[in-house]
């Protein structure tokens, strides 16, 4: 099984990002997160439409 930190890395959280909670809560937070590059891509597309 991968560690909580490894799971956060797969979602592109930097190692300096503080994850709070129990190990189960951290795994759930990282598992439910939107990867940073995907969120950036969506934000840029929305900004293009709004501007």
Q: Quote the pLDDT of residue 24.
A: 85
HSE (CB half, 13 Å, CA atoms) of 42? 6
Confidence category of residue 31, pLDDT binned at 50, 70, 90: confident
Region 27-43: mean pLDDT is 84
Q: Residue holding tokens 């990282």?
A: 30
Give percent of the chain with pLDDT exceeding 70.
Answer: 100
Tokens at 37, concatenated: 């590059």
Instruction: Kindly tell me the sign of the dihedral angle through the C-alpha atoms of 21, 29, 36, 50.
Output: negative
Q: Quote the pLDDT of residue 36.
A: 79
Give the Cα separation of 40 and 6 in Å (integer): 21
28 neighbors 47 (Cβ within 8 angstroms)? no
| Residue 28 pLDDT > 90 | no
Tokens at 44, concatenated: 């840029």
Give percent of the chain with pLDDT exceeding 90.
Answer: 24
């Amino acid at each position: 099984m991968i560690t909580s930190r490894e799971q956060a890395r797969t979602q592109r959280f930097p190692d300096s990002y503080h994850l709070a909670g129990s190990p189960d809560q951290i795994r759930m937070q990282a598992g439910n997160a939107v990867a940073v590059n995907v969120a950036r891509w969506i934000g840029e597309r929305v900004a293009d439409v709004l501007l």
